[in-house]
Amino acid sequence: MKHSVPFVVSAFAAATLALAQQSIPTQAPPADTRSQSRVASGRSDSRVAPLDGTGSGQSSASGGAPTPKDEVTGGVEGEVANYVLGPGDRLSLLARDLEDFADQTFSVDMHGDINLPLAGRFHVAGLTVNQFEQQTAARLKKYVKDPEVVASITEYHSQSISVIGAVNAPGVHQLQGHKTLFEVLSLSGGLRLDAGSTINLTRNLRWGAIPLPDAKTDSSGQFSIASVKVSNTMSAADPSENIIIMPGDVISVPKGQVVYAVGSVIRPGGFLLGEHDSLSSLQVLSLAEGFDKVAAPSKARILRAVPGSPNRSEIPIDLKLLMAGKAPDVPLRADDILFVPNSAAKSITKRTLDAAVQITTGVVIYGRY
């Protein structure tokens, strides 16, 4: 998948640059050629900001590769300058007073090394683009005084994530800088109509634990796992759940759970709970478009699965009184069956209920409403 850094500065960016230049004190030295090169290539200078919030702008202890927990800054910097290089990434370079890099691209090999003219072969996996530029410039000093190097990513291949389940475009996607959970779901085409009520996340602990209250470590001790509610995602009710996605994250959206309405209803079938944990009996009856002419609503039953048993418990519900507002509603949970018998039946036998359960295996499942 190819992505090139634009070389044309937008009107907005130009205006912003002009304002920034006006705000520089007169005694300050002019911007160096490195900053000018970044503006010309559609990029701005940046430094890696550590998670501890110190804002020191320093990389890991030895000035080499950042630790996985280094936070990615936003904006253009997050898209390019703070991208962490890895095997398979391809770059183009501009170097002042050097023509050796013109019209060429260079790949990071499977060992994490890159081979550049004059600079030679060296390890770059784990470096940000900024750090790569600095190391390349240091290697070129023997050939050019104060070399200026600007790198651009032409192909992203190393920072992959997986989005699976009930999304419109599941698969492996490449992270290109700062991406949140909502942005990744959008890149995956959004949720399908049969998506369930939760979004599950798995992260390798080398990137730290998932920053959500319910996050826990799996039995292997290598991964952090957590989940968020689809309803919170869709409504943006809790911005803290819109976490930054890290390389290697797996985002899983299970299919939704189903409740059933069978018997003497106009539209028998299964109805997805979607982002809900339950639906009321009246909601399910409404989705089933009400009773038919021979229904016995006062004899309705909710059939609920019993954990560890093939049998179901029966919950009597008088839908006639419920519709008159004279009885409390009863919520249906995942896999519950609302059974409305025929008024011609003198009684509801076990055989009748077993038949109702069997009917659910062949009914139509309707999407979210």
Regarding whether 135 and 31 lie in a shared domain, the answer is yes
Average confidence score pLDDT of the chain: 76
Residue 251 has a CB neighbour count (10 Å cut-off) of 23
* Whether residues 122 and 28 fall in one domain: yes
pTM of the model: 0.57
Q: How many domains does the chain have?
A: 3
Task: Encode pLDDT of 73-85 as tens digits.
Answer: 444 344 566 778 8
Measured distance CA(156)–CA(187) in Å, rounded: 15
Residues 197, 226, single domain; the answer is yes
Looking at the fold, whether 29 and 89 belong to one and the same domain comes out as: yes
Q: Using DSSP, how many helices (H) and how many strands (E) does the chain show?
A: 9, 19
Is 5 inside a domain boundary? Answer: no
Contact 124, 108 (CB under 8 A): yes
Give the mean model confidence (pLDDT) for residues 87-107: 87
Shared domain for 79 and 150, answered yes or no, is yes
Residues 48 and 136 in one domain: yes
Q: Which pLDDT band, with edges at 50, 70 and 90, does 275 fall under?
A: confident
197 plus 151 within the same structural domain: no
User: Do residues 18 and 122 both lie within one domain?
Assistant: yes
Look up the domain containing 62 and give its range: 11-155
Task: Please name which of 84, 87, 241 lies closest in space to residue 178, comparing C-alpha atoms.
Answer: 84
CATH code assigned at 147: 3.30.1950.10
- What is the predicted pLDDT for the residue at 95? 86
| Residue 103, pLDDT above cutoff 50 | yes
Q: What is the Cα gyration radius of the chain?
A: 30
b/e for 200-230, b at 16 or more Cβ within 10 A?
A: bbbbeeebeebebeebeeeeeeebbbbbbbb
Greater confidence (360 vs 175) lies with: 175
